[in-house]
Structure formats: structure tokens, C-alpha cells
């Protein structure tokens, strides 16, 4: 019998406790430590696990204390986003495998630093992965596989839309919420990042982005609650990104991939539509029509592609939110044991982060932005501007912007 990997969770807030609950149900993981600069938070999380009938993990205020106190194989970083890199760096320096909750971080300089540290650690056999659990959802696996494998023909376009609602009370509930320094952004970075990541995964390397953002429905925050952007991808496909936390009462997160031989839609992690031309004759007959729907009675094939619990309208997957993280943790455990790269690498996360960062830079400067320039640091001095003073004004000239403000030091929450 294989011995479970010993996991330390850093950050005992909502997402950290979620990681811990997922891990204690995973046959290949054992939660041995909970780390938080606020001792009561770590103690409370440990109480929850003990009450659930599992061995009580130790609690500590720092990663270093936890490592000194018990054996640890993997460290999960679940702190506010602006603290990800400093905490991951400490774990890597100690030779521990690292899992970082999304996003990778809030600034490109720190993201490049963790990419460098992760690359160096990989040479020593130490792995780093970034949570993007929806890449492991069966619906998204099917769509990405069809896009990458040519089943959709030439992928021409895609749309990612997150139409959610967050109250003013949500933003007022923590002094780090709605800040550039520790939240890293608003509706795109915080709520839409997973859906943007899935669009990037399906359509390929993004090359250029053009965006507008606004603060239209909330007060006392620095970041956007609404954003739209267009993206050009390396293969020629065009994409549209739309994210908002001002869509009452809160609708779905969905993305669509369109191609010359097939198309698909994923809605709230379930397959809403999937069709691939069944044969050359069907495709050729479609090319002679001028109707909006070129193929008469085209069969929605989604039920043939994924199990019923992953289809819109099907039975609910038990504990779906936990299941996504569990699937990614299975990949991480297998990668550690097999010595291979994880399914989501730091470089993957860096590209998705650069896409989001490029969106903010484009909206601030009022011009298209090349993603490679973002990755290489050309826009590191640009601090995003949303224009909270006059709602809806989300752009500024480059000469008006100031250097990026470094995140403040603070407690892990």
C-alpha cells in the first residue's frame, strides 16, 4: 500500500479550509499541518478536521515552524493572492513540492520569480503546480481535447463570460478584498480567472488583447466589477472575454469554442452543447447552404461525450466543488510519484495571468497589448486604473499611471 503524501495547508481562510477538507477525503493525502499568521484561524481549522474524525494536524504561524515540527511532502499555498510567491518560495527553499491556489500571484515580476524558482526546483525533482481545477472537469477535458485534436477543424473563435453578482457587503467583508495589492484585480482576476484560463487552454497561446473595464455598481474598492476584452490567439482564432460581479442575481460562468467542423459550450462546468461533423459528406452538404444553421437537425452529441452528471440538465455531481480540486490533486500526486510535470504548470499559469494582466494594462492605457510584452516585463511599471471616481471611465494615458504598488506585509488569511 502506498503511503499518503503529507500535506501542509498555508492559509486557514475559506479556500484553505476547502483544500484541507478535500485532502482529508483523498486516499493519497494526509493533512499534517495548518499554517496561519493568525493562530486562532489555524486552530479553528484544525478543530474542524478533528471534529470530522481525522487526526488533528499541528498548527503553526509560519511555514518554517511547520516544517521544523513535522514531516511534510507538499505545501498548499492558500493565502491572499499577493502573498503567494513569498510563501511558495519559502516552501520550495525547504525542498517541498508546492501547490498554489489561483491566481499564480498578482504581479508579473513576482510571477516571473516563482516561475524561475519553480524551474530551478524542478531540476532537483521538486514540483510546483497551480490550481486550475476546472481543467480537470470532464466537460472541459472533452472540449480541449476536441480543440487540440482537430475534431473542431480550424478553431476560429471563442467566448468566455462570467456573469456573477457580489454585494457591497462581500467587498466590505475584508480589507484586502477589492485591492490591487492583495486581490490582484476584480471581476476578471478574482471571479473570471478560471474561465479565462479555460478559454486560453482551448484556443492556444494568446498574442494580443484589447480591453475596457469599469467600476459600475460598487463603492470603496480599487478594482473593476465589469470588464470586456477581445483577444487574438497565435493560431489566428479570436476570443471575447466578459466578466462582471454586477449581474444580479448572479448567472453562470460559461465559455464556448467554435470551429469549422464543430463547436461546444460549457456552462457552469457542465457540457451544454457539443457537436462535431459526423462525416465528410455531412460537412460538405453544410457548405452549400446559406442558413444560419447550416446542418438540418444537427445532433447535440454532449450525452455521448461525458457522463450524465457532467451534462447540463443531468444529475448533480456529488460535492462538485470539492470534486474538481480532488481531480487536480490526483494529478499532482501522480506527477510527484511518477516524476513527471503536473497537468497545470507554473508556465501555464503564467500565460493565463499575463492574459489577465494584459487586459488591465490595455484598459488602463487605452491600447492593444501584446501578451509576450507583458510576460517579458515591458508593462511592469503600469499600475491599473479603473476610475472609481467617475464610474465607467476605465482608461488612462500611459503617462498618467504610476509604478505598481508592492503588496503590504500582513497576516495569512
Give yes or no for residue 239 having a pLDDT over 80: yes
Please report whether residue 376 resides in a domain. no
Residue 175: its pLDDT value, please?
Answer: 85
Chain position carrying cell 482537430: 150
**Which residue range(s) make up the domain with 208?**
135-316
Residue 353: the pLDDT is 94
- Model confidence at 410: pLDDT above 50: no
Mean pLDDT for the stretch of residues 22-29? 97
Could you list the beta-strand ranges (E) of 110-237: 128-130, 155-163, 206-214, 226-233
Euclidean distance between CA atoms 394 and 345, whole angstroms: 32
Identify whether residues 240 and 147 lie together within a single domain.
yes
User: What pLDDT, on a 0 to 100 scale, did the predictor assign at position 221?
Assistant: 95
Q: How many domains does the chain have?
A: 2
380 falls within a domain: no
Choose between 229 and 104: higher pLDDT.
229
d(CA 63, CA 184): 23
The verdict on 83 and 54 lying in the same domain is yes
Q: Is pLDDT at 282 greater than 70 in this prediction? A: no
Q: Are 244 and 227 in contact (CB under 8 A)?
A: yes
For residue 102, the domain's CATH number is 3.40.50.720
Q: Map grid coordinates 462525416 to a residue.
A: 279
Residue 402 CA to residue 352 CA, distance in Å, equals 24
199 and 327 inside one domain: no
Q: How many percent of the chain have pLDDT more than 90?
A: 81
- Residue 63's contacts (CB-CB under 8 Å, 6 or more residues apart) are 8, 10, 35, 75, 87, 90, 91, 94
Give pLDDT, residue 281. Answer: 59
- To the nearest 10 degrees (0 to 180), the angle between helices 346-365 and 108-123 is 170
* Three-class DSSP category at 255: strand
Mean pLDDT of 354-383: 97
Domain membership flag for residue 141 = yes
Q: Measure the CA–CA gap between 276 and 413, rounded to whole angstroms.
A: 46
Task: Using the predicted structure, report yes or no on whether residue 155 has a pLDDT greater than 90.
Answer: yes
Q: What pLDDT sits at residue 393?
A: 43
In terms of domains, do 183 and 120 share one?
no
Last residue of a domain, one of 296, 316, 336: 316
- Is the same domain home to 305 and 332? no
48-72 burial, b at 16+ Cβ within 10 Å, e below that, comes to bbeeeebeebbbbeebeebbeeeeb
Query: Distances in Å between the alpha carbon of 315 and those of 217, 266, 273, 310?
Result: 35, 16, 16, 8
Query: In terms of domains, do 235 and 304 share one?
Result: yes
More confident residue, 407 or 108: 108
Residue 106 pLDDT more than 90? no
Both 147 and 284 in one domain: the answer is yes
- Looking at the fold, whether 195 and 267 belong to one and the same domain comes out as yes
The yes-or-no verdict on residue 403 having pLDDT over 70 is: no
3-state percent breakdown (helix, strand, coil) of the chain, nearest 5: 40, 20, 40
Q: How confident is the model at residue 358 (pLDDT cuts 50, 70, 90)?
A: very high
The CATH number of the domain where 176 resides is what? 3.30.360.10
**Residue 394 located in a structural domain:** no
Residues 44 and 149 in one domain: no
Q: What are phi and psi of 124, to 5 degrees?
A: -95, 5
The predicted structure's pLDDT at residue 321: 86
pLDDT in tens, 214-233: 999 999 999 999 999 999 99
What was the pLDDT predicted at 101? 93
Read off the pLDDT of each residue in 110-135 and give the average, rounded to a whole number: 96
Place 286 in a pLDDT band, splitting at 50, 70 and 90. Answer: low
Give the pLDDT of residue 288.
54
pLDDT tier, 167 (very low <50, low <70, confident <90, very high otherwise): very high
Closest by CA position to 55, among listed 76, 30, 23, 73: 30
Same structural domain for residues 172 and 236?
A: yes
Q: Compute the distance between CA of residue 100 and CA of residue 113 in angstroms, rounded to an integer.
A: 14
Does 378 fall in a domain? no
Evaluate if residue 398 carries a pLDDT over 50: no
Contact present, 12 and 19 (Cβ < 8 Å): no
Of the listed ranges 62-71, 181-190, 348-357, the least confidently predicted one is 181-190
Predicted pLDDT at 287: 57
Say what the pLDDT of residue 192 is: 94
Q: How confident is the model at residue 283 (pLDDT cuts 50, 70, 90)?
A: low
Strand pairing of 5-10 and 29-35? parallel
Instruction: Give yes or no for residue 81 having a pLDDT over 90.
Output: no
Phi-psi region of 57 (alpha: psi -120 to 50; beta: other; left: phi over 0): beta
The answer to whether residues 70 and 153 belong to one domain is no
Strand 206-214 relative to strand 226-233, pairing: antiparallel
Give residue 402's pLDDT: 40
Cβ within 8 Å of residue 45, ≥6 positions away: 9, 12, 16, 17, 20, 34, 36, 59
Contacts of 189 (CB under 8 A, 6+ apart): 81, 103, 106, 183, 223, 356, 360
Asked whether residue 205 falls in the same domain as residue 305, the answer is yes
Q: Which residue among 300, 316, 332 closes a domain?
A: 316
State the pairing for strand pair 155-163/74-77. Answer: unpaired
Q: What is the pLDDT of residues 292-341, one digit of tens each?
A: 566 666 899 999 999 999 999 999 999 888 999 999 999 999 999 999 99
pLDDT in tens, 39-49: 999 999 999 99
Beta bridge partners of 167: none
Read off the C-alpha cell for 366.
Answer: 487605452
**Considering the domain boundaries, does residue 387 fall inside one?**
no
Any idea which residue has 492574459 for its cell?
355
Would 237 be classed as within a structural domain? yes
Q: Does residue 292 lie in a domain region?
A: yes
d(CA 179, CA 107) in angstroms, rounded, equals 13
* H runs (alpha helix) in 61-107: 63-69, 84-93
Quick check: 413 pLDDT over 70? no
Give the chain's mean pLDDT.
90
Residue 389 DSSP class? T
pLDDT at 387: 62
Q: What is the pTM of this model?
A: 0.88
Amino acid at each position: 500500500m502506498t503511503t499518503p503524501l503529507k500535506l501542509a495547508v498555508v492559509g486557514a481562510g475559506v479556500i484553505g479550509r476547502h483544500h484541507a477538507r478535500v485532502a482529508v477525503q483523498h486516499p493519497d493525502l494526509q493533512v499534517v499541518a495548518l499554517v496561519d499568521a493568525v493562530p486562532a484561524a489555524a486552530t479553528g481549522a484544525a478543530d474542524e478536521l478533528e471534529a470530522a474524525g481525522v487526526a488533528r494536524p499541528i498548527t503553526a504561524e509560519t511555514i518554517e515552524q511547520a516544517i521544523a515540527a513535522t514531516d511534510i511532502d507538499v505545501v498548499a499555498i492558500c493565502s491572499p493572492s499577493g502573498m503567494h510567491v513569498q510563501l511558495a518560495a519559502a516552501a520550495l527553499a525547504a525542498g517541498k513540492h508546492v501547490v498554489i491556489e489561483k491566481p499564480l500571484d498578482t504581479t508579473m515580476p513576482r510571477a516571473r520569480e516563482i516561475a524561475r524558482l519553480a524551474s530551478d526546483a524542478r531540476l532537483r525533482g521538486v514540483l510546483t503546480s497551480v490550481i486550475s481545477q476546472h481543467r480537470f472537469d470532464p466537460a472541459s477535458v472533452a472540449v480541449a481535447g476536441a480543440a487540440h485534436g482537430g475534431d473542431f477543424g480550424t478553431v476560429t473563435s471563442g467566448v468566455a463570460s462570467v456573469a456573477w453578482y457580489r454585494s457591497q457587503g462581500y467587498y466590505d467583508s475584508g480589507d484586502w478584498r477589492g485591492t490591487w495589492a492583495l486581490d490582484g484585480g476584480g471581476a476578471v482576476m478574482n471571479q473570471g480567472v478560471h474561465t479565462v484560463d479555460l478559454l486560453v487552454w482551448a484556443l492556444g497561446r494568446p498574442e494580443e488583447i484589447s480591453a475596457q473595464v469599469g467600476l459600475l455598481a460598487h463603492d470603496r474598492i480599487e478594482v473593476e466589477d465589469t470588464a470586456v476584452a477581445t483577444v487574438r490567439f497565435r493560431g489566428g482564432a479570436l476570443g471575447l472575454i466578459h466578466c462582471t460581479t454586477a449581474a444580479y442575481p448572479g448567472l453562470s460562468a460559461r465559455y464556448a469554442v467554435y470551429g469549422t467542423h464543430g463547436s461546444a459550450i460549457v456552462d457552469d462546468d457542465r457540457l451544454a452543447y457539443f457537436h462535431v461533423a459526423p462525416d465528410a459528406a455531412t460537412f460538405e452538404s453544410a457548405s452549400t447552404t446559406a442558413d444560419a444553421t447550416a446542418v438540418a437537425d444537427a445532433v447535440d452529441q454532449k450525452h455521448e461525450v461525458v457522463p450524465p452528471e457532467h451534462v447540463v440538465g443531468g444529475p448533480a455531481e456529488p460535492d462538485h466543488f470539492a470534486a474538481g480540486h480532488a481531480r487536480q490533486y490526483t494529478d499532482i500526486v501522480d506527477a510527484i510519484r511518477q516524476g513527471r510535470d503536473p497537468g497545470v504548470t507554473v508556465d501555464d499559469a503564467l500565460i493565463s495571468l499575463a492574459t489577465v494582466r494584459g487586459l488591465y494594462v490595455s484598459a488602463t492605457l487605452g491600447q492593444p497589448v501584446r501578451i509576450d510584452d507583458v510576460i517579458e516585463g515591458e508593462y511592469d511599471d503600469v499600475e491599473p486604473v479603473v476610475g472609481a471616481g467617475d464610474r465607467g471611465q476605465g482608461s488612462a494615458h500611459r503617462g498618467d499611471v504610476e509604478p505598481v504598488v508592492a503588496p503590504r506585509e500582513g497576516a495569512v488569511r
